[in-house]
Amino acid sequence: MYNKKKHGNTTFYSHLLYSPANHSVYLPVRIPLSRLLTSIASTILLFLTGCSAGRSLSKTKMEGRVEFLGVFTHTVHWLPFDKQVETMEEILARNPYIKGVGIRAPWRFFSPTKDACETKDFLELVRFLKERKLHVYVALIPGSLCTPGWVFDEGAGKITTHGPLSQVMPYTVVPWDPVYMKHWEIFLKKIAPIIEAEEGIFSVDILGHNAMMEMHMPGGEENLEQWRSFGWSPEVVWENWKHWVDFYAGQFPHKKLAITLSLMYGPETADLTTRIATYAIEKYPSRIILTNHQLHGRFDYMNAEDPQHGSQIKFRDRAPSGWECLGSWWQQPDRQGSVDLAVYNTLKANPLFIQIWNRDALVNPDYAGRIAECFEEYSRISPAELKEKLQAEGKYKTREQNTWKPKDHKPGSDSQLPSPSKERYPEYYEAFRKGFAGD
């Protein structure tokens, strides 16, 4: 009935994802008794109802939803891979609720010189996470500060970024530049067989037309003037994105492929986010995961018409979704809103995982624990029923009731926030010059 494939700790089906409950339990800093009892009760319920991949899951989740893999976090991209192991070891010793990790892997770490593909430390990180039975996906980041300097020495074009985003990406490579494309493809061809052989990795992010991990690209007239000097047009962007979708599908035939949806250059490319998602899903059915790094719980905002995240709802029956939180629950609680509404927003689509910032996973296990607790409860009912429940409990908010405004947040300011990683490894942060938001 299902096309079944095994990737590490996760068994994938063409229509349904099922993740066995085989996660290790780590020693916590603190686990509320009520949450511990809830977890035990849920485990007993799963056993008694006989839930399995081939049986009805109606008693534990809504029909048609993929199996939720849990709360994820990510590594700090500007840290060398051996230091990423150190930080993840500390997080996992403190936080029993983390069930998956996204590895953020800059191209420059693999290829400090032309033709190099250094994978030893990267594979040690993968195996460290695999031994702890965590779900792992990989984002090989090619743009901005992650591009090796020698690529530009070879003649690849780049623009100098103007505006607020210049704090997090002072420059970035031209995604359709033939020199860049040639060397990025050479690298991907080298590392693809290595990643394909790692069963602990279930997914790879499609990254080629990216300055960071999202689709965000420097917009505004000053930046667009530079882009146009390299031949930029919406059609060029569209064709380049299709190229990278097809290239990744060919290089990673046994992995899921994730696309992190967001708006790009400006109004001229507003429709491309949905077009790219549609292209990928129609050409590679059952292989695509649609992700988004804008999750918050300030109000009810997810809708199928939105050009940034609407595809996650539009294609909820054809592709699972993953989310990273817009901000830090620890440092930006007003920007994040409530966990209840954040989980509610994800349940309008088909949630595979919810990801919190690395620092949030480290400083307080309760952020991940609360998300897991809400999801366990709320995923048993429909979004319409959940909306009524939140309204009755006074937890529901509309956009008009939102008290936090975008003017309260300066783009690029996330990178200026203090973080445990910056305090512990200032020399690596400085060496990378400037980090991206959400480390």
pLDDT in tens, 391-428: 999 999 999 999 988 766 666 566 668 899 999 999 99
Phi, psi dihedrals of residue 260, rounded to the nearest 5°: -90, 105
| 437 is a domain residue | no
Number of other CB atoms surrounding residue 239 within 10 Å: 12
Identity at 2, one-letter amino acid code:
Y
Q: For residue 115, give both structure tokens.
A: 């033709």
Q: What is the CATH number of the domain that holds 203?
A: 3.20.20.80
User: In the predicted model, what is the mean pLDDT of residues 162-174?
Assistant: 89
Which residues constitute the domain of residue 365? 5-431
Domain-located, residue 436: no
| Tally of domains within the chain | 1
Confidence of residue 435 (pLDDT cuts 50, 70, 90): very low
Q: Which of 233-242, 254-263, 396-405 has the lowest mean pLDDT?
A: 396-405
Contact 152, 115 (CB under 8 A): no
Q: How many CB atoms lie within 10 A of CB 363?
A: 20
Task: Name the pLDDT band for 5 (thresholds 50, 70, 90).
Answer: very low
Q: Are 421 and 429 in contact (CB under 8 A)?
A: yes
The reply to whether 111 falls in a domain is yes
Is 185 inside a domain boundary? yes
Cα separation values, 397 from 96, 308, 327, 341, 355, Å? 31, 21, 19, 8, 22
A 10 A CB-CB count for 197 gives 10
pLDDT of 62: 60
Residue range 269-287: mean pLDDT, rounded: 97
Report the C-alpha gap between 182 and 179 in whole angstroms. 5
Q: Is 390 helix (H, G, I), strand (E, B) or coil?
A: helix
Query: Confidence class of residue 2 from pLDDT cuts 50, 70 and 90?
Result: very low
Terminal-to-terminal C-alpha distance of the chain: 41
In Å, what is the CA distance from 17 to each residue of 10, 13, 204, 384? 8, 5, 16, 24
How far is the C-alpha of 275 from the C-alpha of 277, rounded, in Å? 6
> Can you give the pLDDT at residue 35?
47
In the predicted model, what is the mean pLDDT of residues 271-297? 97
* Spatial distance between the Cα atoms of 69 and 102, rounded to a whole number of angstroms: 13
Task: Return d(Cα 335, Cα 241) in angstroms, integer.
Answer: 31
Q: How many CB atoms lie within 10 A of CB 228?
A: 10
- Dihedral, CA atoms, 424, 428, 430, 435, nearest 10 degrees? -90
Q: What is the pLDDT of residue 21?
A: 33
pLDDT digit string, tens, across residues 67-93: 999 999 999 999 999 999 999 999 999
Classify residue 403 as exposed, middle or buried by CB count within 10 Å of its CB (0-12, 13-18, 19+): exposed
Alpha-carbon span 355 to 337, nearest angstrom: 15
Q: What is the pLDDT of residue 405?
A: 80
**pTM for this entry:** 0.85
